Structure formats: C-alpha cells, structure tokens
Amino acid sequence: MSKSIFVFTVTGEQGSSVAKYMLEAEWQVSGLTRNLESESAKKLAESGVKLLKGDLADRASYEHLLKGHDAVFVNADFWTVYTHNGYNGDEAGKEETRQAMAAIDACNQAGIPHIVYSTLEGEDIPHWQSKHLVNEWIREHNIPVTQLYTSSFNSNMYRFDYLKSDGQGGLLLNIQTLDDARVPTVSSEQMGAWVKTAVENPEEWKGKNMYACTDYLTVKEMAHILSEYMGKKVDTPHLTPEALESDVTVSIVGFEIWCQNKVWASGTVIRDVEESKRIAPGVWTFKEWCEKSEKFHEYLAQLK
C-alpha cells in the first residue's frame, strides 16, 4: 500500500512542487486549499492530488483531515498576509508564525510521524525571523521535525520583476545590493525533490536540518549568466555600501527586501551547494533554470 502525504498550501509554489514529486514517487497526496475551483487547484486535481478545502489560518478547518497520513509538508506564507495587511511586516510575521505553529502542533497531535517544515535562518529580516521563531518553538517542544531551509527562489526574477530595460537595448538586473553580494538560490519548482528525500528516508532526516540550494552566485555572476543566455547586455545597479544603506534604496525596494539585500551583502548566509545537490540529484542550477523554466520564458517574452 502506498504511503500518503498531506501538503499545506498545495497550490503555492512549494506545495505544488511537493505534490508533483510525491505523485511521481507513487505516494498518495492530499492537499489543503481555500479554493477548490481555482485553475491551479483544478490542475492539481487532474494530476492526482486529493484536494481538501480548508484554510491554514483556521486550524479548525483542517485538523480533522490530518489523521492517517505518513508525512506532512508545512509552509506558511508571509507574503500573502503582508500584501493584504497594508505591508505591515511585523504583523505579517506574527501571523505567519501563528499559522505555522498551529499547523505543526495539529499534525503532531494527529500523530503524523514525519513533519517537514519550510523555513529560514534567524537573520534580522522580519519574514525570516517569523520562521526562526517557529524553529525555536519546535526545538523547545522536542517535535522531530525536518527543518528544510530554503534559499532565494529563482522565480523571484519574475515575481519581483527584477529585469528592467536600461533604455539602450539591454537590461538591468535590479537587485538593489552590492555587485559582489552572494545570493543562495534554488528553483521553487523543485523544492519537492528535497521533501521527497526527507520523507522517504525518515530515520535519517527526522529532527534534522536540510538545506535546499543549487547556486551561491554574486549578483554580477547572475547578470553574466542572464546576459549569455539572452544574448544581450544585462547590467547591475553597481550599488556602493553607502548607497545600500541610504533611505533612497529603502524607498525603492521597501523595508522587507532592503533588510534581505543587506543580509546578502553581509555574506552571513552560507549554503553547502554540493551537499544540497547531493541530497536532491538532478535539480537545476540557476543557468539551467534560465534555460528550462517556462514561466521565466513567458516573463522574458513580455519584456521584449
């Protein structure tokens, strides 16, 4: 009999990737979504996902659905709350933390033997701190969770509209940080690869940290890869340390992203790329993502 996994926010970037990889591994996949009639939900249902109506923000809407599963993937979304509450990062962080803790506690109470939680380190960034508080709570309560540390998603390229015309036939990679700032990256479409490894090897990964990253590139190196792929010049903002710290830069990108860009410049977030790729064989590098991502290609077509 095949094993089963419950996926929170299954229509999201990470959740849909987990569903895809686990279906390919012949697991039964149940996914929570608020809207059973959305196009993304319908596509998942067609692929074999059992959709269940519920809301991560409302524990009562899903806790009765959890029993009997072999594993669960938990991901709480800061950005949805943030964009709907007037861009209040502190309040969005508190809500994300509350949702994640409630989901993990409900899964633990339901007896699900393996919980995988998508998270980040405790850097001085509101949408990282909200996850770090959950990490600490997990440890305090001795819940054997696999804490899956993500990296900057390659899809941020189009989600945050990073590519701009330079007015001279080229493009600007508008990541407002230092040229030599290193950014750990990963393809959100492939987050399921790490989750698959974790849940299929529970004795190795329960209660352990896992890191998802396929590149650790400087902004300048990313621009060079984009330039080679697109066949046109892709430049960077060439920010100085003084410009990065300025109120002008904060006003351009907003406080949340500014905090994150400062962390990239500080070099404090480290990933072992080769170890991460060993855990999830076949995942794309940034260059391969540029070549293979359909959504990125659609984004580029709109820029022309």
Cα atoms found within 13 Å of the Cα of residue 16, Cβ hemisphere only: 16
Same domain for 64 and 22: yes
Domain limit, last residue, from 101, 132, 149: 149
- pLDDT tens digits, residue range 125-176? 989 999 999 999 999 999 999 999 999 999 999 999 999 999 898 999 999 9
| Domain harbouring 118, CATH code | 3.40.50.720
Tally the domains of the chain. 2
Instruction: Place 18 in a pLDDT band, splitting at 50, 70 and 90.
Output: very high
- pLDDT tens digits, residue range 65-95? 999 999 999 999 998 898 889 888 899 999 9
| Domain harbouring 255, CATH code | 3.90.25.10
- How far out from the chain centre does Cα 218 lie? 19
What rounded mean pLDDT belongs to the chain?
A: 96
Same domain for 141 and 27: yes
Q: What pLDDT, on a 0 to 100 scale, did the predictor assign at position 188?
A: 98
Query: Of 30, 28, 110, 109, which Cα lies nearest the Cα of 68?
Result: 110
Q: What pLDDT, on a 0 to 100 scale, did the predictor assign at position 87?
A: 86
Same domain for 160 and 117: no
Instruction: Place 23 in a pLDDT band, splitting at 50, 70 and 90.
Output: very high
Mean pLDDT in residue range 281-298: 97
Share of the chain above pLDDT 70, in %: 99
Mean pLDDT in residue range 232-237: 96
Instruction: Place 124 in a pLDDT band, splitting at 50, 70 and 90.
Output: confident
Domain assignment present for residue 175? The answer is yes
Domain limit, last residue, from 149, 176, 201: 149
Q: What pLDDT, on a 0 to 100 scale, did the predictor assign at position 123?
A: 81
Q: What pLDDT, on a 0 to 100 scale, did the predictor assign at position 173?
A: 98
Q: What pLDDT, on a 0 to 100 scale, did the predictor assign at position 122?
A: 85
Round to whole Å and give the CA distance between 206 and 264: 29
Burial letters for 92-120: b for 16+ Cβ neighbours within 10 Å, e otherwise? bbebbbbbbbbbbbbbbebebebbbbbbb
Query: Of 87, 128, 85, 78, which Cα lies nearest the Cα of 262?
Result: 128
Tokens of 297: 């290609």
Same domain for 158 and 105: no
The most distant pair of C-alpha atoms in the chain lies apart, rounded to whole Å, by 60
pLDDT exceeds 80 at position 1: no
pLDDT exceeds 80 at position 304: no
Same domain for 72 and 43: yes
Same domain for 165 and 299: yes
Same domain for 165 and 24: no
Same domain for 166 and 34: no
Domain assignment present for residue 209? The answer is no
Domain assignment present for residue 202? The answer is no
Same domain for 258 and 169: yes
Domain that holds residue 118: 4-149
Domain assignment present for residue 239? The answer is yes
pLDDT exceeds 90 at position 4: yes
Mean pLDDT in residue range 199-203: 98
CA of 197: how far to CAs of 47, 121, 181, 204, in Å?
21, 21, 30, 10
Same domain for 97 and 28: yes
